[in-house]
Structure 1
Amino acid sequence: MGDRAEKLAAAYQAARTTLPVLEQHAATTDHSSEFPVKAVDELRAAGLMGLLVPVEHGGAGGDLGDLVAVAGLLATKCVSTALIWAMHCQQVDCVVRFGPERLCADLLPRIAAGDVYLASVTTEAGKGGYLFSSEAPVVSAGDMLAIDRQAPIVTGGKHADGFLITMRESPDADERRVTLCYADRDQLTVETTGTWDTLGMRGTASAGMRLRGQVPAHQVVGEPGGFRAVAAESMIPAGHLGWSAVWLGAARAVLSDVLTMMRAQGTDKVPDLTADRLARARIDVELVASYLAAVRDEVRAHRRAGTSLSAMPTQIHLNNLKVAASELTFRAVDGLMQVAGLTKGYRRDSPIPVERVFRDLRSAALNYSNDRITTATGTLSLLDRVVTLAPADLM
């Protein structure tokens, strides 16, 4: 425990030391719509790629609470870099919890050393980002698995060292029998099939890709055809907690920047409308922070107890977190742009990045569509008629 505590303390300090580099390159990354290579290299060198890797494999041994804390911190300087890192950690969590021993022994030390940045390949033409089905099948070839997979969006794929790829279990399997495979980059032929020229989150470089190659059968993560369990216990909770922390960190930083700007101008009293907008932005940020903490604690409690995250109330809470965080943080920054005005809020060359974060957070509701989530949550709610609240019922 002492070694783990020391490693985590060192990781938090390392995260703070990376912030000037993230801040230095954030505007250029956004303007050029290029992957933040220097920022990610800084995270590699700082040991942060292995935050969730167990100590016995060379990592810091962090949990999803540590993911939330560090993701929020990184997002104060560069939202694209923070999201890239959070999604990498999401993939790491899947390997840690569901990877076979042979794969973990080989892969996790390399992640901890900063040698492997993991990208997620879950999107597919025709189904978008829906996780629980896949069209392209894995084809068995002796002890090897043949992969031929196209994806319209792969965050940071051009720069990834490895990939977690969802595939149909076999050519004869139902599309809902999904298998998750790990592939090293050198096991694949990797082709970029599109461009990434977007309103926001430009540095994530999430262009389409085609991946072809063969991997050993021991690189299946979880049971063949059993990806639903990996998603429920790892990919979804890590994703929704990490994303929400990024969006919260970005919105909180903009609120701080606007307040600091106003005080620097000698503003002690503001018009009622401005005060109202500041208050509402603060309320939105506080609400997201509180609900994120509640769901984080619920997930950690389940993991400590060894109980499943697939229970209906927990799934609803995770869904609600993603929707609430994406909508409320964007609403907060939208209001803060009104406060900052044309010259300090809307201009791209403003000394505070309100405009950039506004564009970045507009993507939050689209990053696994809120419409898809609320439709699912409405159906799930019929199965929880007592309305179990997060983290526990208060009445």
Structure 2
Amino acid sequence: MGRVAHGGTGERSLLDRSSLVERTATVAASAATEAEDVDRDARFPQSAIDTARQERLLGVQIPHRFGGDGASMSDITDMCYTLGRACSSTAMIFAMHQTKVACLVRHGVGSRYHEALMRRVAAEQLLLASSTTEGRNGGNIRFSSAAVEHMDFEISLVRNATVISYGAQADGIITIARRANDAAGSDQVLLAITKNDYTLERSLEWKTLGMRGTCSAGFELKFKGTKDQIFPDAYDKIHAQTMTPVAHLCWSSTWAGIAAAAVERAQSFIRRAARGDGGQMPPGAAHFTAAKMTLAKLRAMITSNLDTYLDHENDGRALASLDFQSSINLLKVQASELAVETVMSALRACGLSGYRNDGDFSVGRQLRDVLSAPIMINNDRILANIATASLMSGVPTKLRD
């Protein structure tokens, strides 16, 4: 038993972490069983998500007083890593869902509607999707075209969402929009809506190289509801304090898990090859060493940023600072590139056995899935956005701050 502080609420609750590890392992085992079929058929990992519901992991981050376990971000990222080793799509769905839950936990307390939704997520194990991209804006989630229409206490929204991952399977959606028709594109709000409030009309299919099981199709989203479904905090605050850091930590942990699965297969291949050749290392051994090194670097980078986040998760000013925002955005860029490099090294370690799709040492699925990492909120866009901010910060004069 370990005592875990839950960020954003200030409460502390006892969480049986050994039980949490066991529950996550159960979901991972279910995910691994169907991972090949999920990838081949581009289908939603229903069995894995059903198991996550049975193990009550979808509401694990919800504070204890709202019916959840009060799991920390450290717990959540560990879970993403474990699931990433089993099934990339399951892990990414879990990561995106937990990012939306984090928005509820950190910015919904004090709002009757959002507190009630937290209780529902914990009790009913609701799966929450995200709608942040639309129309021609692509991955620029700090600009919205669609605006909330206000009619006294009622509101409505029509949104051309080019991507809503697992939108057809979700029980609710967390979406951004312009505050009103006369608001600037960057004047945004975040809304929490549930399935009875909206309709989805498919506009784009999801036929991709990898991450096929996330079912990230495009939809026209039509919503009608009430004003209390808008988060009390402005989106710029939510974006800086929660959406960006939690997403980048969870995504990076998922990619690290995918990379770890590839390295594990490479290790098994090298061991078998060495045994078959009287202990002589095969040509791919050097690439396995490189894969182990980059995986270690990737894990260290994630945990370092996670520690910084945990140190300041209740300090909005620190989270909004130039240094932290630059660091957490660069985490996404660097982690995505390192994950790809790691899997490529694992592939070269395995040689043709890794390139094949029909053997025990195949890393083709992991490679195709991890190639989504630099494209998911394009790295070039992130680097361009932080270029000006980077020019404003000084270059370190010492090895340690």
Shorter-normalised TM-score: what interval?
over 0.9
Choose from 321, 331, 353 the match for 2:341.
331
Q: Runs of 4 or more off by more than 6 Å in structure 1?
A: none
Per the alignment, in what secondary structure is the counterpart of residue 199 of structure 1? coil
Structure 2 residue aligned with 1:313: 323
- Percent of aligned positions that are identical: 31
Q: In the alignment, what sits opposite 2:259?
A: 251
3-state DSSP of counterpart to 1:157: coil
Residues in 1 aligned to 2:178 and 2:314: alpha-carbon distance in whole angstroms: 32
Matches within 5 A, 1:175-254: 175-223=185-233, 226-254=234-262
Q: 2:74 is aligned with what amino acid?
A: G
Segments of 5+ residues of structure 1 without an aligned counterpart are none
Alignment of 1:66-81 (within 5 A): 66-81=75-90
The alpha-carbon deviation at position 347 of structure 1 amounts to 1.6
Q: CA offsets per residue over residues 65-91 of structure 1, 9 Å max, x none?
A: 111111001111001100000100000
Residue 387 of structure 1, CA deviation: 4.1
CA shift, 1:360, in A, is 0.2
Distance in 2, Cα, partners of 1:304 & 1:13: 29
Paired letter, 1:81 = T
Q: CA deviation at 1:55?
A: 0.8
1:377 and 2:386 are equivalent in the alignment: yes
| Structure-1 residue corresponding to 2:118 | 108
Query: Aligned-pair distance for 1:339?
Result: 1.7
CA offsets 1:109-150 (integer angstroms, 9 cap, x no match): 221134310000000111102111100110001111111111
Q: How does 1:294-305 map to 2 (within 5 A)?
A: 294-304=304-314
Q: Which moved more, 1:97-106 or 1:250-259?
A: 97-106
Within the candidate set 280, 284, 287, 1:277 is matched to: 287
The size of the alignment, in residue pairs, is 388
Question: What RMSD over aligned residues (CA atoms) do the two structures have, in Å?
Answer: 1.8
CA distance, structure 1, for counterparts of residue 15 and residue 235 of structure 2: 34
Name structure 2 gaps, 5 residues minimum.
Answer: 5-11
Deviation at 1:308, TM superposition (A): 3.2
Cα separation, partners in 2 of 1:296 and 1:202, compared to 1, 3 Å: same
CA contact (8 A) 1:11 1:47 kept: no
Is 1:63 the equivalent of 2:101? no
Residue identity in the other structure for 1:286: A
Q: Please state how far the C-alpha of 1:210 moved relative to its aligned partner.
A: 1.3
Question: TM-score w.r.t. structure 2 length?
Answer: 0.92
Aligned partners of 1:94 and 1:221 also within 8 Å: no
Letter of the aligned partner of 2:345 in structure 1? Answer: G
Q: Aligned letter for 2:251?
A: W
After the TM superposition, which residues 36-55 of structure 1 pair with which residues of structure 2 at under 5 Å, given as runs?
36-55=45-64
Q: CA deviation at 1:228?
A: 1.1
Moved more, 84-93 or 6-15: 6-15
Partner of 1:34: 43
CA contact (8 A) 1:222 1:230 kept: no
Give 1:97's aligned residue: 106
AA matched with 1:204: T
Distance between the aligned counterparts of 1:387 and 1:228, measured in 2? 29
Structure 2 partner of 1:125: 135
**Inter-CA distance 63–304: structure 2 relative to 1 (3 Å threshold):** same
Q: What SS does the corresponding residue of 1:321 show, helix, strand or coil?
A: helix
151, 160, 172: which one aligns with 2:161: 151
Structure 1 SS opposite 2:221: strand
Q: 1:82 aligns with which of 79, 82, 91?
A: 91
CA apart distance, 1:309: 0.6
Q: CA deviation at 1:104?
A: 2.9
1:394 matched residue in structure 2: 400
Q: What's the CA shift for 1:257?
A: 1.7
* 1:350 CA drift (Å): 2.1
The alpha-carbon deviation at position 175 of structure 1 amounts to 0.8
Whether the 8 Å contact between 1:258 and 1:336 is mirrored in structure 2 is yes
Q: Are 1:293 and 2:303 an aligned pair?
A: yes
Q: Deviation at 1:276?
A: 2.3
Matched residue type, 1:250: I
TM-score normalized with structure 1 length: 0.94
Partner of 1:361: 370
1:388 to partner: Cα distance = 9.3
What displacement does 1:305 show? Answer: 5.2
Q: Do the aligned partners of 1:313 and 1:388 also contact (CA within 8 Å) in 2?
A: no
